[in-house]
Amino acid sequence: MSKPIKQIHLAAHFPGVNNTTVWSDPASGSQTDFASFVHLARAAERGKFDFFFLAEGLRLREHRGKIFDLDVVGRPDSLTVLAALAAVTRHIGLAGTLNTTFNEPFELARQFATLDHLSGGRAAWNAVTSPDAFTGENFRRGGFLDHELRYPRAAEFVQVVRQLWDTWDSGASLTAAGVPFRHQGSQFDIEGTFDVPRSPQGWPVQIQAGDSDGGRELAAQYADVIFSRHSGFRDGQAFYTDVKDRLAKYGRERDDLKIIPAATAVVGDTDADAQELAAHIRLQQVSPQGAIAFVEQIWGRDLSDLDPDGPLPSVDPDVDGTISITRGRVRHERDPLAVAKKWREISEQKGLSVRQLVIEVTTRSAFVGSAATVAATIDNYVQADAADGYILVPHITPHGLDRFVDEVVPILQERGAFRAEYEGTTLRDHLRLPLAVPGSERHTLAGTGR
Amino acid sequence: MSSTELHLGVSLDGAGSHPAAWQQPGVAESLLDPDRLVSLARTAERGLFDFVSLDDSFDPPQSDAPHVPFALDATLSLARVAPATNRIGLVATATTTHTEPFHLSKNLATLDLVSAGRGAWQVAVSTSEQAAARFGRKQVQPLDELWAEADDAIEVVTRLWDSWEDDAVIRDRATGRYLDRDKVHYIDFVGEFFSVRGPSITPRSPQAQPPIVIRADNPSARQVAARRADIVIVAATTEDAARVARDQIREAVGAAGRDPDDVTILVRATVGAPHLRAELDALHAAPPHHSTLDLVGEAQQVAAVLHEWFAAGSVDGFLLQPDSVPQTLEWLTDDVVPILQELGSFRRSYDAGTLRDRLGLTRPTNRYERAEVAS
């Protein structure tokens, strides 16, 4: 007996404020106009995607003490854009990042319950943490949060928010206030009544990112969807197994958490055509100035005189600097001297200039090929449990997903691995998530629209 | 000087201002239907109103009268309305007591963005113990301190709105720069209640500075309104009281160094058609207490009051709080507005432009741009 075909989950990531987004292409449109958001969300809905996603960062990035100006900078507020998009879309899920460090549970619970009502059950929250004092300078609490406390605070935050959402039954009378709540924990001490009746999904979909052990554990416990950067086959499988294996100890099934790595797709007329296009995009993504800034992050020095088409600097990185030269960007801690040594080896071996080297070391696996190749690869990866699907990050705003939607999606549908039409009304329906949530049988009442 | 054009806003809160409005069968449930709010805003747009407004609060309702025990976030609700309407202003209440000014700034700028220049911010504070307990971050504060904090919050929000110059995004391929960082500014606000470094993460919005709306219900609020508000809403039960209130606000605005003609002063009025009011009164035992003008009469009579107070220069306009929505709102749109148009005191179509344009305000110069020119 053959295994049933696993259903792929697809999401669309609005191009963000890093160098994946190519703003310099003549086809690149506004990063801010509402029309750009409408176009991409509608394209994703035409492609029957599960959800549309907006990221957020609460401080503009800085490089060498100045606002970093080489990538896209600035964006509107996620939730407000999503609420507006609810008016111009009908089915697609609407997911946004909100920070657990610089928000409070009552207000956030109210905002997501509102979005879930306004969208008829399509809201999702990607919870992120940023304990750094750099971001804290924009907030009244400042950089108060110990790095060690970021996941405890996030976990307690999610618990409290769910407690608030649960103070209204889906069948509750709307003429009396919700059941009073009280929470006393190490991070929050709050009480009262919550003032939004139960939303269509009961609990808006919970998304989590974070690759550390703590991040994976938090996701296993609370998340419905986890983003990752493991879009390759082997690393994807390893991540998938690791995270899914953690679910049982929280009383959860393996299907209760969807693993959706971020991925890029380059679709060409032929495989060769796509490879050429992908190389061109990589060159656009790593501008000469961007390559130097990238090397400066490792070297910790001003390298503005460096020739991007020449070799790496002959001096070693400055390891004495205590403050990172780039701030406000997600970076994994690395030993600069070791990185410099490795880069020099690669660039000597392959004869690469600074710019070519940066392209080489920052290229992640991508789905590159004809529509048939891209569809087959994604399907094979998902069937082999390298992922449950992908959140696609287009490099061009707002048309970057058009070709995928129009050419790749139909093939995935023919293969029986992706929905031909939306089957339910809520995002939980699209993600095939269980309505019953441990500890609360009330969730069987949510999403009765099917 | 009197306003050249009658300004009329309409409140879409709950099921209407009458205490019985939401108690009719099925009404409470309908308040959660997002299409309902869109439909109401479109009705108001058909009536050519300047704006619709939604209140919002972290305080539980403080009145003894029966009330809807829930409400959705106002900014998000009006963002949901924005793409489904074209011209009408969208006034969202957002409180400064427990919310970060940085969040307020980007949320309201984004409301302005998704509405193509129709957003406005009604500033309010949270006075109750209950609101403080919902956040658990600070004790309840006295009113003067709450408004001092609101004053700082407005300063921060408006600075953040200016923290990007209009032409900060340059997309210069030759130098590889997306942004001219000399046109993005730290605001470096340090105050008693919070400090905010900036700049905003959100570029300058279509109106640059969405109008600030304040209900001048107490001396502390009135003081901040005089310094900060573009629209001031006052309570008054008689035309004389309205004129006095308007004169006082204008004087205070002038004393704050601003041009009184830049501020639009609206009298808040509950409004009902006799046949609709009778139905609602029948459902509600105790007659509601009115703290401001209560306009009940046939369309001709209601229109006459609006027209006469405006024509006499006693008001710049009104914030109308219909007894029930949609019923009383439809009556205002279909029966009262045409009479005002006949009387020559209300617009017959919308002009193109932003909400600021409608209020006679120009697009403001960026304070940081100005500072550079001066130096």
Q: What is the band of A438 on the pLDDT scale with cuts at 50, 70, 90?
A: very low
**C-alpha distance from residue A321 to each of A103, A295, B143 (Å):** 32, 15, 48
Between B290 and A281, name the one with better pLDDT: A281
pLDDT at B372: 60
Report the relative pairing of strands A62-63 and A66-67 from DSSP bridges. Answer: antiparallel
Q: Among A39-48, A122-131, A433-442, B231-240, where is mean pLDDT lowest?
A: A433-442
CB contact under 8 A, A114 and B179: no
**What is the crossing angle of helices A34-46 and A78-85, to 10°?**
60
Q: What's the maximum distance between 2 C-alpha atoms anywhere in chain A?
A: 73
User: Looking at the domain assignment, is residue B215 inside a domain?
Assistant: yes
Separation in Å, CA of A131 to nearest CA in chain B: 16
The neighbour count for residue A320, using CB atoms within 10 Å, is 6
- Name the residue with tokens 């999403």: A447
Q: Is B54 helix (H, G, I), strand (E, B) or coil?
A: strand
User: What whole-number distance in Å separates Cα of residue B178 and Cα of residue A82?
Assistant: 25
Interface test with B, best of A18, A69, A97 (most B CBs within 10 A): A69
Q: How confident is the model at residue A450 (pLDDT cuts 50, 70, 90)?
A: very low
Instruction: Please identify which residue in the block is written with the tokens 């914030």.
Output: B319
Question: Is A80 close to B197, i.e. CB distance below 8 A?
Answer: no
Q: Which residues pair with B213 in a beta bridge?
A: B122, B231
Residue B369 included in any domain:
yes
Residue B166 in domain: no
Residues of A whose CB is below 8 A from B77: 83, 114, 118
Q: Roughly how many angstroms between the first and final C-alpha of chain A, as a whole number? A: 30
A190 and B81 in contact by Cβ < 8 A? no
In terms of DSSP H, where are the helices of B99-214?
101-114, 129-135, 143-162
Tokens 């407005």 found at? B154
> Encoding tokens for residue A435?
């309505």
* Chain A residues near residue B68 by CB distance under 8 angstroms: 174
Residue B175 resides in a domain: no
**Residues of B with Cβ-Cβ distance to A192 under 8 angstroms:** 60, 130, 133-134
What phi and psi, each to the nearest 5 degrees, are found at residue A378? -60, -45
Give A18 to chain B, closest Cα distance, Å: 11
Q: Do B72 and A59 touch (CB under 8 A)?
A: no
In a domain, B214, yes or no: yes
Residue B287 has pLDDT above 80, yes or no: no
Contacts of B200 in chain A (CB under 8 A): 74
| Interface contact B29-A79, CB threshold 8 A | no
d(CA A95, CA A205) in angstroms, rounded, equals 8
Within-domain flag for B224 = yes
Asked if A104 lies within 8 A of B83 by C-beta distance, the reply is: no
Distance from C-alpha of B211 to C-alpha of B123, rounded to nearest angstrom: 10
Q: Which residue, among B130, B54, B62, B53, has the nearest Cα to B98 in the 3D structure?
A: B130
The pLDDT score that the predictor gives to residue A447 is 33
Mean pLDDT calculated for residue range A279-299: 93
Mutate to test the interface with B, among A80, A106, A163 (most CBs of B within 10 A): A80
Number of neighbouring beta carbons within 10 Å of residue A314: 6
- The answer to whether residue A27 scores a pLDDT higher than 60 is yes
Nearest CB neighbour to A114, from listed B73, B109, B198? B73
Contact A75 B202 (CB under 8 A): yes
Residue A159 and residue A181 in contact, taking contact as beta carbons nearer than 8 Å:
no
Amino acid A141: pLDDT:
73
Higher-confidence residue of A175 and A23: namely A23
User: Smallest Cβ distance to B177: which of A69, A86, A139?
Assistant: A69
- In this prediction, residues B20-26 reach a mean pLDDT of 87
Q: Is residue B167 part of a domain?
A: no
Segment among A16-25, A236-245, A314-323, A388-397 with least mean pLDDT = A314-323
Task: Label residue B325 by pLDDT band (50, 70, 90).
Answer: very high
The domains of chain A, with CATH numbers, are 9-264+366-445 (3.20.20.30), 283-362 (no CATH)
Give the single-character DSSP code of B22. Answer: G
With 50 as the cut, is the pLDDT of residue B375 above it? no
Q: State both tokens at B137.
A: 């971050």
Burial grade of A170 (CB within 10 A; 0-12, 13-18, 19 or more): middle
Token pair in block for residue A335: 């030993």
The residue among B327, B85, B124 whose CA lies nearest residue B225 is B124
CATH of the domain at B90: 3.20.20.30
Burial A361-388 (b: 16+ CB within 10 A, else e): eeeebbbbbbbebbbbbbbebbeeebbb
Chain B residues closer than 8 Å to A38 by CB: 83
Q: How many residue contacts between A and B have a Cβ separation below 8 Å?
A: 196
Q: At what angle do helices B143-162 and B219-228 cross, to 10 degrees?
A: 20
Q: How far apart are CA B228 and CA B247, in angstroms?
A: 17
Query: Facing residues of A260 across strands?
Result: A227
Average model confidence (pLDDT) for chain B?
Answer: 94
> Are the C-beta atoms of A232 and A368 separated by less than 8 Å?
no
Report pLDDT for A441: 37
d(CA B6, CA B347): 8
Q: Please, which pLDDT band fits residue A320 given cuts at 50, 70 and 90?
A: confident
- In contact, B15 and B325? CB cutoff 8 Å: yes
Give residue B67's domain range.
7-159+202-374
Distances (CA, A) of A135 to A99, A105, B159, B168, B204: 11, 19, 18, 22, 20
- Measured between CA atoms, the residue of chain A closest to residue B191 is A140
The Cα A401–Cα A412 span in angstroms is 15
Instruction: Reduce the secondary structure of chain A to three states and give it as a string.
Output: CCCCCCCCEEEEECCCCCCCCCCCCCCCCCCCCHHHHHHHHHHHHHCCCCEEEECCCCCCCEECCEECCCCCCCCCCHHHHHHHHCCCCCCCEEEEEEECCCCCHHHHHHHHHHHHHHCCCCEEEEEECCCCHHHHCCCCCCCCCCHHHHHHHHHHHHHHHHHHHCCCCCCCCCCCCCCCEEEECCCCEEEECCCCCCCCCCCCEEEECCCCHHHHHHHHHHCCEEEECCCCHHHHHHHHHHHHHCCHHHCCCHHHCEEEEEECEEEECCHHHHHHHHHHHHHHHCCHHHHHHHHHHHHCCCCCCCCCCCCCCCCCCCCCCCCCCEECCCCCCCCHHHHHHHHHHHHHHHCCCHHHHHHHHHCCCCEEEEHHHHHHHHHHHHHCCCCCEEEECCCCCCCCCHHHHHHHHHHHHHCCCCCCCCCCCCHHHHCCCCCCECCEHHHHHCCCCC
What backbone torsions phi and psi does residue A401 show, to the nearest 5 degrees?
-105, -5
* ipTM of the prediction: 0.97
Chain B positions in Cβ-Cβ contact with residue A289 (cut-off 8 Å): 175-177
CA distance B284 to chain A (A): 15
Please choose, from the candidates A174, A28, A194, A187, the residue with its C-alpha nearest in 3D space to the C-alpha of residue A114: A194
Tally of domains in chain B: 1
Contact A67 B184 (CB under 8 A): yes
d(CA B31, CA A121): 16
Identify whether B276 is part of a domain. yes
Note whether A71 and B178 are within 8 A (CB): yes
Residues of chain A contacting residue B178, judged by C-beta atoms under 8 Å apart: 23, 69-73
- Contact of B280 with B272, CB cutoff 8 Å: yes
pLDDT at position A3:
80
Which backbone phi and psi does B28 adopt, to 5 degrees?
A: -55, -45
How far is residue B118's CA from residue B82's CA, in Å, rounded to a whole number? 8
pLDDT of residue A170: 81
Q: What is the pLDDT of residues A86-141, one digit of tens each?
A: 999 999 999 999 999 999 999 999 999 999 999 999 999 999 988 788 999 999 87
Which of A147-161, A195-209, A319-333, B358-372 is predicted least confidently?
A319-333
Q: Find the mean pLDDT for residues A248-259.
A: 95
pLDDT at A448: 31
pLDDT value of residue B291: 85
Can you tell me the distance from the alpha carbon of B167 to that of B181, in angstroms, rounded to the nearest whole number? 11
Pairing mode, if any, of strands B51-54 and A189-192? Answer: unpaired
Question: Bridge-partner residues for B190, per DSSP?
Answer: B195
Q: A28, A34, A67, A138: which to substitute to probe chain B, counting the most B Cβ within 10 Å?
A: A138
